[in-house]
Amino acid sequence: MSLIDFYIDTNKVCIFSKTTCKFCNKAKQLLDSCNIKPLVYEMDIMEEGSILHKNLISKTNYNTVPNIFINGTHIGGYSELEQLFKSGKLSIMTEKFTYTCCFCGKDSKTKELEACNCFQKYTDDWGIPY
């Protein structure tokens, strides 16, 4: 297992980025327009950023940023992300994403609070839900 594997979340979109990179910002904006919240690692402000970048290059053979992973799979950079978006494949790749209850950790396809039954339903004095 490489150092990069510790940073990649196999259920999410991960971007290895630099704060000054215009293509990194474009990638983040494109994902934001799709309501996808990626895990972003800004390597130019991370203490271990240079080591991370070297490991990223050896894992992906991709020297530039952004360096993007979806569901743990390396897809490339901004151009590849934009291509996936335009072809409709980005939504297919990310449709498996679920919402996770912050209380119990159960996954749900919707944001409905009752999906995991963590939240009490209102009941009358006899305990019957209404």
Least confident piece of the model among 13-17, 20-24, 25-29, 94-98: 94-98
Q: Under a CB-based contact definition with an 8 Å cutoff, are residues 39 and 13 in contact?
A: yes
Two tokens, residue 36 = 């996808």
pLDDT of residue 88: 94
In this structure, which amino acid lies at residue 111? K
pLDDT band at residue 124 using 50, 70 and 90 as cut-offs? low
Among 1.10.10.10, 3.40.50.620, 3.40.30.10, 3.30.70.141, name the CATH number for the domain at 4-97.
3.40.30.10
Q: Where in the chain is the domain with CATH 3.40.30.10?
A: 4-97
- Distance between CA atoms of residues 72 and 24, nearest Å: 18
Q: Is the pTM of this model over 0.85?
A: no
pLDDT of residue 106: 65
